[in-house]
Structure 1
Amino acid sequence: MSCVETIQAYALRSIGLGERLLPRSDFTLCDHFVLIGSGLLWNLYFAILALGLGFFLATGIALARNTNVAALRKPAEWFTFVFRGSPLFIQFFLAYEALTLLPRAGIEVNLGLLTITVATSWLTKAWAGALLVLFLNTSAYSGEIFYGALRSVPKGDLEAADAYGFSGWRKFRRITWPTMLRLAWPAYTNEAIFLFHATTLVFFSSFPAWQQKGDALYYASYLADKTFNPFVAYPILAVYFMALTLVIIWIFGRVNRHLNRALPQNTPSRVRPRLFPVR
């Protein structure tokens, strides 16, 4: 099988498109790159959705922790403590064990005139259960980052907003929230990189890969076991992750420059040569 045929057969295999069976022998370098790259689609799925949804929950956690209402502050503090204080792998394990205890037939919800059954079996699949764990974990870490940035918003900015008549939602949207993001963004970039790397733990968690549709580490481990050579598959996996880490740094760097666009930039002035007439 040529490399082009390998790409056509296995490039989208991790999401159910292409060849159903994995190759058994005669593995080429192209097989390694294509199969591991196919599994990387699941790592991107986990990272993008968990980070995107967790951003909003993290903002709510930061606001809840900053309020004087104990009914909001205490749950946010305990949520942050639990998910930051326990290992992510243990969270995967406990979540899977808890979700498997739910009735397979679903949970019946009585609405009076109508009783509906809410399905629960899908929560034990990796695409849902593992995503839920990553979402809650990154929300806790990001919420702590946003909370620290929220506490660091200069009082002068808030006083200036009051002087201009800003209050309530308008003050938060125009002054507090942009300043909080600007202060938190470098640390939040690190959290995004950490979350992307943490998606490899899904392979070690109890959530099963249905019909061998696993993530990048799943295919790297498969190839290393079949070839008895871990020094090909795992370095390729590392190269993929380093390349995508550079993409994350570039995207978040662009956002950071946008957030700081109104601040004076300390850019060195260009050297402009001047001609002086000889006397």
Structure 2
Amino acid sequence: MTVLPANTTRDEDSDVVVPRRRPWRWVGTVVSVLIVAAVANSFLTNPNYQWDVVATYLFDPRILDGLLTTLQLTVVSMVLASALGLLLAVMRLSRGRLPRGAAGVYIWLFRGTPVLVQLILWYNLAILVPSVSIGIPFGPTLFSAQTNTIITPWTAAILGLALNEAAYLGEIIRSGIVSVDRGQTEAANALGLSRVDTFRRIVLPQALRVTVPPASNEAIGLLKYSSVVSVIALPELLYSGQLIYARTYETIPVLLVVCIWYLVVVTLLTLLEHWLERRLGVGFRTGAGGDANPRKGRWARWWSGNH
């Protein structure tokens, strides 16, 4: 124990805190830098990548048409899947056994079978149902058509992707609804709001803050695995690239073009997700003592805390 003189006081600010040495952190950093440098050097110096060919096909009309088809598939399928997923979530939370059981069976079936198998089944639906008829039971037929004329490659792709994605979104939306405190609905009932208005004005806006991040991941995943529709000869981005390199034998450069466009679209979707998260988080604290607006300056936070 160190005894200080009577006229001497310990200055706490003079104590120097020496951080713990972490040599393995430096080793990991050096190894990571070396790996990144080696990969970058391979990309820049390996002539087999054929970057000149990549630049040639980057804005090829066939590639751009495939990209447009991929975007259309993703947007249409995601919109339909979101609407159906919301319906499934509400059915799963219903007090009735029939809607709850029907939604559970749907989710079990579509999550339990591969989307590739579902696409092939939809495309070959005419084998099971040769024609589709709509009419009054035990009465006249109002509409009738051959299944092959209705189930085109585009229709089969939309059905396969949207119905499969709805099963996952249904569970995501249900988890967001369940996360809303029950006291919110009780307060709405006390104010005389109907169940529909309570769900639309109070429950759903709060549930969106929870469901947006996983739903955005599902949208990005849907964009990427929409490439499986190439098995039914729908010329989306990957299939368009396959048609090109099947004729020119420039496999690697064309696949690099496909990867570049996927990365561009995924980056834009990620930025949109971050914007939505900030937009939906307005008015809510982000943590203990945190502020809802991360762009608020230090002096503005100090002023609001002291006045």
Compute the TM-score of the two structures, normalised by the length of structure 1.
0.77
| 1:50 aligned partner | 77
Aligned partner of 1:72 among 80, 95, 99: 99
- In structure 2, the CA distance between the partners of 1:257 and 1:122, relative to structure 1 (3 Å rule), is farther
Measured at CA, do residues 109 and 61 of structure 1 come closer, stay the same or move farther in structure 2, by a change above 3 Å?
Answer: closer
Runs of at least 5 residues in structure 1 that lack an aligned partner in the other structure: 1-26, 273-279
**Please, which of 270, 274, 279 is the counterpart of residue 253 of structure 1?**
274
| Distance in 1 of aligned mates of 2:135 and 2:168 | 37
Aligned-partner Cα distance in 1 for 2:141–2:112: 42
CA offset digits 1:202-228 (Å, max 9, x no partner): 002xx234xxxx111112112222232
- 1:32·1:220 contact (CA, 8 Å) conserved in 2? no
Counterpart in 1 of 2:222? 195
Shift of 1:119: 4.1
Residue 166 of structure 1 is matched in structure 2 by: 193
Could you say if the C-alpha distance between residues 110 and 141 of structure 1 is closer, same or farther in structure 2, counting changes exceeding 3 Å? Answer: closer
Question: Post-superposition, which runs of at least 4 consecutive aligned residues in structure 1 deviate over 4 A?
Answer: 108-111
Q: Structure 1 174/233 Cα, relative in aligned 2: closer, same or farther at 3 Å?
A: same
Please tell me whether the aligned partners of residues 109 and 118 of structure 1 are also in contact (alpha carbons under 8 angstroms).
no
Q: Gaps spanning 5+ residues in structure 2: where?
A: 1-52, 286-291, 300-307
Distance in 1 (CA, whole Å) between partners of 2:196 and 2:133 is 39
Determine the structure 2 residue equivalent to 1:216: 237
Checking the alignment, whether the CA contact within 8 Å between 1:122 and 1:128 is kept in structure 2 is no
Higher relative contact order (CA closer than 8 Å, sequence separation 6+): 1
**How far apart, CA to CA, are the structure 1 residues paired with 2:140 and 2:295?**
72
Partner of 1:233: 254
1:60 Cα shift? 0.5
Partner of 1:107: 132
Question: In the alignment, which of 99, 102, 117 is matched to residue 144 of structure 2?
Answer: 117
Distance 1:237 1:222, change over 3 A: same
RMSD (Å) for aligned C-alpha atoms: 2.2
Confirm or deny: 8 A CA contact 2:88 2:103 kept in the other structure.
yes
8 Å contact from structure 2 (residues 66, 237) kept in 1: yes
1:179–1:117 distance in 2 versus 1, CA, 3 Å? same
Provide the rounded CA distance (Å) in 1 between the counterparts of 2:192 and 2:245. Answer: 64
Q: Residue 165 of structure 2 corresponds to which residue in structure 1?
A: 138
Tell me, in whole angstroms, the C-alpha distance in 2 between the residues paired with 1:236 and 1:148.
Answer: 38
1:30 pairs with one of 56, 65, 81: 56
1:270 corresponds to which residue?
A: 297
- Which residue identity is paired with 1:259? L
Higher Rg of the two aligned structures: 2
